[in-house]
Chain A
């Protein structure tokens, strides 16, 4: 991927949630997620689990790539 395309994607990824939140939070979001502190703990926990699964996919990808390389002449 081109470097500027990567930068665009990264910016979009970072900016998108902020842009969504800036539009004013619906009641349920305020009530359930931001009502009192410590919600960031839940966010961090979910993020860790997603990263863990991504790590597993990465390892699997590497193993499959190794098999593919054996098949190439």
Chain B
């Protein structure tokens, strides 16, 4: 039982985080507007489609936000729970290309559709028909943030991201084993290092494939030129090269030492690369390259512990996979010694 607690803990954490990730509803949101282009200086009737909203007549207030200015809607006709028609006059002189739509209602909270409207005529700011301040409602309950483009896929946060954390943990374990090899030259440490590399590559592959699927659904391509993707690709290449190096040396002691040296060298350079990279290239990922981090629009900070639970849990699972391989390696060494004798 003594050696089992952390395995149970890991499984429990992963289970809890996965159930929460799949079971938590998405927050109500505006998903579609028609028309999507504004003609400044004219009246508009905008059809709005909500997702999981419950529009109640006379309670819905809408605004268009452009460059920090809020334009209130005149009247909102509620058609049903998820459909509404906004009647409003759009003043001339809006500053930015894109406007956000804000719909606020008690219960549902304030919902924002980012870049909802294109504004073909740019000005230097509207001078009338703007609101001094906005009515804000806060949503009650526990939900995933609902962003356009992402929608349901935001649940992947608890599956895709922990893969990378686990990969990095396993690579660090492999680095420690490699340093031990340099100090002791022990066969077991070398086997530990290679087992950790194998496990880290498994998680890297899962991270790459899940990321690719997610990217296809949100960014429209299986692979994009992105700082984080470049970092991941370099990481995978380094550890594949590590395995090739091992494959090309037959003498065991020499193989252990050469592989350990390469591991230490490559790990440090990779670490520098990953730290410096986001500053050099653009990224579509949240929290880098000027994109808002998830946490910035993640109104439910209660979901954050769930994400950390997923990361910790998956690290535990990764450690368990490594643990099994390491123990097997120990048995293999014993068996080989016994056969030699």
Q: A contacts B directly in the complex (CB < 8 Å)? A: yes
A residues neighboring B (CB under 8 Å) = 28, 31-33, 35-39, 41-42, 44-46, 48-49, 52-53, 55-56, 59-60, 63-64, 67, 70-71
B206 & A38 in contact (Cβ 8 Å cutoff): no
25 A–B contact pairs at CB < 8 A?
A: A28-B23, A32-B26, A33-B152, A35-B51, A35-B52, A35-B152, A36-B26, A36-B51, A36-B152, A37-B151, A38-B217, A41-B152, A41-B153, A41-B156, A42-B22, A42-B153, A42-B159, A48-B209, A48-B213, A49-B163, A49-B210, A63-B332, A67-B332, A70-B339, A71-B335
| Size band of the interface chain B makes with A | 35 or more
B residues neighboring A (CB under 8 Å) = 18, 22-26, 31, 51-52, 150-153, 155-156, 159-160, 163, 198-199, 202-203, 205-206, 209-210, 213-214, 216-218, 317, 321, 324-325, 328, 331-332, 335, 339
Which residues of chain A have C-beta atoms less than 8 A from B198's C-beta? 59
B328 & A36 in contact (Cβ 8 Å cutoff): no
A42 & B152 in contact (Cβ 8 Å cutoff): yes
Which residues of chain A have C-beta atoms less than 8 A from B214's C-beta? 41, 45
In the complex, what residue of chain A is closest to B210 when comparing beta carbons? A45
Nearest CB of chain A from residue B154's CB, rounded to whole Å: 9
Which residues of chain A have C-beta atoms less than 8 A from B51's C-beta? 35-36
B156 & A42 in contact (Cβ 8 Å cutoff): yes
Which residues of chain B have C-beta atoms less than 8 A from A42's C-beta? 22, 152-153, 155-156, 159
B206 & A52 in contact (Cβ 8 Å cutoff): yes
B22 & A49 in contact (Cβ 8 Å cutoff): no
B151 & A60 in contact (Cβ 8 Å cutoff): no
Q: A48-B206, A49-B206 are in contact. Are A41 and B213 (CB under 8 A)?
A: yes
In angstroms, Cα B219 to Cα A38, docked, is 12
Nearest CB of chain B from residue A56's CB, rounded to whole Å: 6
A32 & B24 in contact (Cβ 8 Å cutoff): yes
Which residues of chain A have C-beta atoms less than 8 A from B159's C-beta? 42, 45-46, 49
A48 & B210 in contact (Cβ 8 Å cutoff): yes
User: Which secondary structure dominates chain B's binding surface?
Assistant: helix
Known A35-B52, A38-B152, A55-B202; 16 more pairs at CB < 8 Å = A32-B25, A32-B26, A33-B22, A35-B51, A37-B152, A38-B153, A41-B153, A41-B214, A41-B217, A42-B152, A45-B156, A45-B159, A45-B210, A48-B213, A49-B206, A67-B331
Which residues of chain B have C-beta atoms less than 8 A from A46's C-beta? 18, 159
Nearest CB of chain A from residue B212's CB, rounded to whole Å: 9
A52 & B205 in contact (Cβ 8 Å cutoff): yes
Which residues of chain A have C-beta atoms less than 8 A from B339's C-beta? 70
Nearest CB of chain B from residue A69's CB, rounded to whole Å: 11
Interface centre among A37, A45, A67 (most CB of B within 10 A): A45
3 nearest A-B pairs in the assembled complex, by CB-CB distance: A41-B217, A52-B206, A45-B210
Nearest CB of chain B from residue A35's CB, rounded to whole Å: 6
In the complex, what residue of chain B is closest to A32 when comparing beta carbons? B25
Interface centre among A31, A35, A42 (most CB of B within 10 A): A42
A45 & B213 in contact (Cβ 8 Å cutoff): yes
Interface centre among A49, A55, A59, A64 (most CB of B within 10 A): A49
Nearest CB of chain A from residue B138's CB, rounded to whole Å: 21
In angstroms, Cα B22 to Cα A31, docked, is 11
Which residues of chain B have C-beta atoms less than 8 A from A44's C-beta? 210, 213
Nearest CB of chain A from residue B37's CB, rounded to whole Å: 23
A63 & B328 in contact (Cβ 8 Å cutoff): yes
B325 & A60 in contact (Cβ 8 Å cutoff): yes
A31 & B52 in contact (Cβ 8 Å cutoff): yes
